[in-house]
Chain A
Amino acid sequence: MNILKLSLANLKEKKLNSFLSALLLTLGIGMISLLLLLNKQLDEQFRRNIRGIDMVVGAKGSPLQLILSSIYQIDAPTGNVPLAEVNTLKRNPFVKTVIPLSMGDNYQGYRIVGTTAKYAEHFQAKVISGKLFQESMDVTLGSKVAGILGLKLGDTFASSHGMDAEGEKHGDKKYKVVGIFEATGSVVDQLILTSLSSVWDIHEHAEAGSEAHGDSVHSESSEMPHEEEKQITSALIQFRNPMGLITLPRQINENTSMQAALPSIEINRLFSLLGIGIETLQALALIIISIAGVSVFISLYNSLKERKYEMALMLSMGATRTKLFFMLLMEGLMLAVIGYVAGITISRLGLLLFSKAAEQDFHYSVKEFNLLPEELYLFVAALIIGLLAAALPSLGIYKLNISRTLAEE
C-alpha cells in the first residue's frame, strides 16, 4: 500500500471522469506537439534546400511559384526563358555561379531535371554507385527515387511529359541510369538528374546533332550551337557578394524578359502565411489544455466531496493531512502524465500520417520522431496544470473537520 496505489485505485474507480480529463489533456498536448514537430521539420526542410541559393531567375509570374518549382520542385514551373539571356548573367561581376535547370518531364511522378554537374555539387550530393550523368539521356538518380522505384544501373525508362505520372509518354527515347546519389536529405533525393541536352533532345527531336555536344553544357561554355534558340526553365544564382542582392534583382526584373525571385524573402512570406494558421491552432490547443485543467479540477472537487467521509476515516486511522493531500495531488499528476504520454504518442502518429501524405503528394518526408526540447517544456507545463488543478480542490483536506464528518453520516 502506498500513495501511488491509492491514487491509482481512485482514478480507476472514476473511470469516465479520469478518461475525460486525460482525453482533453491528450488532445491539447498532442496538437501542440504535432504543431511543434511540423513547424520544425517544415522549417528545416525549407531552410536546408535554400542554403546557398541567393536568387532564382525564370519566366515572369509568381515569384513564390518560381521558388517553389525551382528549389523545392513542388509547384509547376512558371515557363521557359532563353538560355542566352541566362548566360549573360554569368558575365555579371556580382554573380558567382549560375546553375541552369530544365524541367518538364517526370518518371512515375518523380521529376526529371536537366541541369549541370554544379547542381549536384551545390547540394553536396555524392554519387555512391555508377557515375554522374554525362552523355545525353544519361541520368543519375536521387537515393529515394532509386530506392522506391527499384531502378538499378543500366536500367532504361521512358519519361512522361509534364509533372504527373499520367502524362503523355516519350516512348521513342529512353533514359539510361548511369549513377545513383547517396542520400543527402535535400531535394536531390527525390529527383532524376540529367544533362540539359537530354531535355532538349527529348523535346526537339529534329535536332539530332546536339547529342554530340552534350558534354559542352558541363563545361559552362557558350559554344553550344544555336544557343540563342535554347530554352531552360530557370536558374539558381549565387552571388559573389551581397551587393548583387541590391542591384541585380531590379535590373533583371526591369530590363529582361525574366523575373528574379529571392528565396529568403519568398520563404519568409510563405511562413508568415502559414504562421497565422499555426498560431490559430496553437491557441485552440491551449484552450483545450485549459479545459482539461478545469476538467481535472471539477472531477477532483466532486470526488473529494463524495469521499469526504473516506478521508475523515483515513485521518482517524492515523493518516496525516499532508499525506492525503499528496494522494489527491498525485491523482492530478498521474492524469497529466497519462495525457502527456498519450498526446506525444498521438502527435507521432499524426506526423506519420502527414509524412505519408506529403510523401505521396510532394515526395517530401518528415522522419524525425525524437522528443523536441520544446516538448520537455510541454511536459513541465502539463505537470503544472495537473498540479494546480489538483491542488486547489485538494487543499480542502486541510479544512476537513474529522469529528463532524464522521458524526454526520
Chain B
Amino acid sequence: MISSKNLQFSYSSQKHFTFPDISCSNNETLLILGQSGKGKTTLLHLLALLLRPQSGEIFLAGSNVTDLSPSEITSVRAKNIGIIFQKAHFAGSLSVMDNILLPNYFGGKKEDREKAVFLAEELGFAEHLSKKTTQLSQGEQQRVSIARALMNNPNVILADEPTSSLDDVNCQKVIELLKKQSALIGASLVVVTHDQRLKDEFANQVHL
C-alpha cells in the first residue's frame, strides 16, 4: 500500500505544486487524472521516491519513507516499487529476456527466469524473448515494461501515462493486463494519466 500526506514540490518559485492526499491499499487501484502541466509526472516521481518532496510525507507498506538516505531509498524502491513509464525504454544492447531480468539483478535478487517466461506468456510476447527490444511494436514494448515492473513482486506499481502512445485496442489490453497482474501479486496499482479512455476503468479516482 502507498499513501501521501500534504505533498508539496516546487521546481522554482513560479512552478509550485501542492498535491491532494492520496491513498491506495493493497489489491486496490487508483487513477490520478490531470491535464498536462498539472504535475502528474512530478507526483509519480515523488511517490516513486525519485524526487524528494519539499514538505509532506509518503508512507509505503506501512512505514514512513520520506526521510530515508539515498542508498536506503534505492533499496526500498528496488524492493517495493515497480514503475512503468509513458514510453517504454530499455537497455538497447540487451535482449527482451535480459531486460526483464534487470530488476532482479539491480534489486539484488536471484534471476527468476521461470517468472519471466510466465509473465511473457501471460502478457503475450513469449515468442519475442530473445529479440532486441527495438524489434517489438510499441504495444508489445509497453507489455514488456509491465513484465519488468512485476519481476520483483513489488508492493506498489506506479504507471506514468502507460497508454497514451497506444491505440484503443492496445490501450484496453494493456490496462486490463496491468489490473490483472497487480491483483495477482496483491499490489497497489497507481496510474497517472490524462488519457480519458481510462476514466471508466477505475473506481477510485483523484483529479489534479
What residues make up the interface of A, taking CB atoms closer than 8 Å to B?
Answer: 1-2, 5-6, 9-10, 12-13, 307, 309-310, 313-320, 323, 402-403, 406-407, 409
B71 within 8 A of A: yes
Contacts of B105 in A (CB 8 A): 1-2
Docked CA distance A340–B41 (Å): 47
Given A1-B98, A1-B105, A403-B51, A318 contacting B85 (CB threshold 8 A) = no
Q: Are A317 and B45 in contact (CB under 8 A)?
A: no
Docked CA distance A319–B111 (Å): 15
- Rounded to whole Å, the gap between the CB of A21 and the closest CB of chain B is 16
B103 within 8 A of A: yes
Q: Are B103 and A318 in contact (CB under 8 A)?
A: yes
- Rounded to whole Å, the gap between the CB of A74 and the closest CB of chain B is 55
B142 within 8 A of A: no
Q: Are B102 and A314 in contact (CB under 8 A)?
A: yes
Partner of A402, one of B50, B71, B89, B102: B50
Q: Are B107 and A318 in contact (CB under 8 A)?
A: yes
Q: Are B41 and A316 in contact (CB under 8 A)?
A: no
Contacts of B75 in A (CB 8 A): 318
- Rounded to whole Å, the gap between the CB of A161 and the closest CB of chain B is 69
Docked CA distance A323–B91 (Å): 15
B79 and chain A: residue at smallest CB distance = A318
Partner of A316, one of B48, B92, B111: B48
Contacts of B104 in A (CB 8 A): 1
Contacts of A307 in B (CB 8 A): 92
Contacts of B77 in A (CB 8 A): 316, 318
B179 within 8 A of A: no
Docked CA distance A317–B101 (Å): 11
What would be 14 A-B contacts, judged by CB atoms less than 8 Å apart? Answer: A1-B101, A1-B102, A1-B105, A6-B93, A6-B94, A9-B98, A12-B93, A13-B93, A316-B48, A316-B77, A317-B78, A318-B75, A318-B106, A407-B41
B64 within 8 A of A: no
B41 and chain A: residue at smallest CB distance = A407
A407 and chain B: residue at smallest CB distance = B41
B148 and chain A: residue at smallest CB distance = A317
Q: Are B111 and A1 in contact (CB under 8 A)?
A: yes
Docked CA distance A296–B7 (Å): 45
- Rounded to whole Å, the gap between the CB of A328 and the closest CB of chain B is 13
Given A316-B77, A403-B45, A406-B50, A13 contacting B98 (CB threshold 8 A) = no
B104 and chain A: residue at smallest CB distance = A1
Contacts of B83 in A (CB 8 A): 316
Interface positions, chain B 50-109, Cβ under 8 Å from A, are: 50-51, 71, 74-75, 77-79, 83, 85, 87, 89-94, 98, 101-108
- Rounded to whole Å, the gap between the CB of A341 and the closest CB of chain B is 22
Contacts of A320 in B (CB 8 A): 71, 74
Docked CA distance A315–B89 (Å): 13
- Rounded to whole Å, the gap between the CB of B188 and the closest CB of chain A is 18
Contacts of A406 in B (CB 8 A): 45, 50, 85
Most chain B C-beta atoms within 10 Å of own C-beta, residue among A2, A314, A316: A316
Docked CA distance A395–B83 (Å): 26
Q: Are A10 and B48 in contact (CB under 8 A)?
A: no
B87 and chain A: residue at smallest CB distance = A409
Contacts of A6 in B (CB 8 A): 91, 93-94
Contacts of A313 in B (CB 8 A): 85, 89-91
Docked CA distance A385–B158 (Å): 43
B109 and chain A: residue at smallest CB distance = A318
B11 and chain A: residue at smallest CB distance = A404
A409 and chain B: residue at smallest CB distance = B87
Q: Are B106 and A319 in contact (CB under 8 A)?
A: yes
- Rounded to whole Å, the gap between the CB of B45 and the closest CB of chain A is 5
Q: Are B108 and A318 in contact (CB under 8 A)?
A: yes
Q: Are A309 and B89 in contact (CB under 8 A)?
A: yes
Q: Are A314 and B91 in contact (CB under 8 A)?
A: yes
Q: Are B89 and A310 in contact (CB under 8 A)?
A: yes
Docked CA distance A10–B92 (Å): 8
Extra 12 A-B pairs, beta carbons < 8 Å, given A1-B98, A313-B91, A407-B45: A6-B91, A310-B90, A310-B91, A310-B92, A313-B90, A314-B102, A316-B48, A323-B106, A402-B50, A406-B45, A409-B87, A409-B89
Docked CA distance A319–B106 (Å): 5
Docked CA distance A334–B75 (Å): 29
B91 and chain A: residue at smallest CB distance = A310
Given A1-B111, A10-B93, A314 contacting B106 (CB threshold 8 A) = yes
Docked CA distance A409–B71 (Å): 25
Given A12-B93, A310-B91, A409-B89, A403 contacting B50 (CB threshold 8 A) = yes
Contacts of B91 in A (CB 8 A): 6, 9, 310, 313-314
6 closest pairs, A vs B, by CB? A318-B78, A13-B93, A9-B93, A1-B105, A319-B106, A318-B106
Contacts of B41 in A (CB 8 A): 407
Partner of A13, one of B45, B92, B102, B106: B92
Contacts of B94 in A (CB 8 A): 6, 9
Contacts of A319 in B (CB 8 A): 74, 106
